[in-house]
């Protein structure tokens, strides 16, 4: 009786392996790890915003609309509970993505405005914050791309035969990913211009 039960368990394990269960598990774990890294990098960026805004305000207080735009965009990002379950909810994921895109745009406008203030551009703290922001934007792009690849691999397994039957049986569903019309454009980190007034460093 015991031997027969063990044999059935063994056969069940083989069947699940052959139907993609193990692949579903491994790709799902890769998505979770990738998502954690995406959140980590987005949080790193959000943490830079208050100091960046305060520094700009010291030289360009009249740019209230731009400064308020960045502050409000950061607040909107912070209002979204980026739990692990968010990646299973298409609407919640879209809301999160929209908020992050809004912050990206607001920061880009802030950097454009800063070009009009030579003293601000020469401020050591501002230059350091810009460099940190550029590095963070690069890390965000890398983390997003890894996450996109993980979701793609997972979704292929969920949709493919016969693993799709296993996915249905155990509740594995297609997950949303970062997909926007201007994906290529917003993935570019802000260009940091450390040149003197009148001298421009071409964007790469």
Indicate if the pLDDT at residue 187 is higher than 70.
no
Q: Where are the alpha helices (DSSP H) in 19-122?
A: 21-59, 64-78, 90-114, 118-122
Indicate if the pLDDT at residue 107 is higher than 70.
yes
Q: What is the pLDDT of residues 19-47, one digit of tens each?
A: 788 999 999 999 999 999 999 999 999 99
Q: What is the pLDDT of residues 60-103, one digit of tens each?
A: 999 999 999 999 999 999 999 888 889 999 999 999 999 999 99
Domain 35-186 has CATH 1.20.1440.20: yes
Q: Which of 37, 95, 49 lies closest to 75, judged by CA?
A: 49
Q: What is the pTM of this model?
A: 0.79
Q: Which of 26, 119, 108, 126 lies closest to 70, judged by CA?
A: 108
Indicate if the pLDDT at residue 139 is higher than 70.
yes
């Amino acid at each position: 009786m015991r031997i027969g039960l063990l044999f059935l368990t063994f056969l069940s394990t083989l069947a699940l392996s052959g139907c993609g269960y193990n692949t579903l598990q491994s790709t799902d774990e890769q998505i979770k790890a990738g998502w954690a890294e995406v959140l980590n990098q987005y949080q790193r960026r959000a943490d830079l915003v208050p100091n960046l805004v305060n520094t700009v305000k010291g030289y360009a207080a009249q740019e209230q609309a731009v400064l308020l735009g960045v502050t409000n965009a950061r607040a909107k990002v912070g209002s979204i509970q980026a739990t692990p379950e968010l990646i299973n909810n298409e609407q919640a994921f879209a809301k999160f993505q929209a908020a992050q895109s809004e912050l990206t745009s607001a920061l880009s406008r802030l950097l454009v405005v800063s070009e009009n203030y030579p003293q601000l551009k020469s401020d050591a703290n501002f230059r350091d914050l810009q460099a940190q922001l550029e590095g963070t934007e690069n890390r965000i792009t890398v983390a997003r791309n890894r996450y996109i690849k993980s979701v793609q691999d997972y979704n292929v397994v969920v949709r493919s035969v016969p693993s799709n039957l296993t996915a249905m049986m155990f509740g594995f569903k297609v997950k949303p990913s970062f997909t926007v019309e201007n994906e290529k454009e917003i993935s570019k980190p802000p260009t940091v211009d450390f040149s003197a007034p009148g001298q421009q460093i071409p964007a790469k």
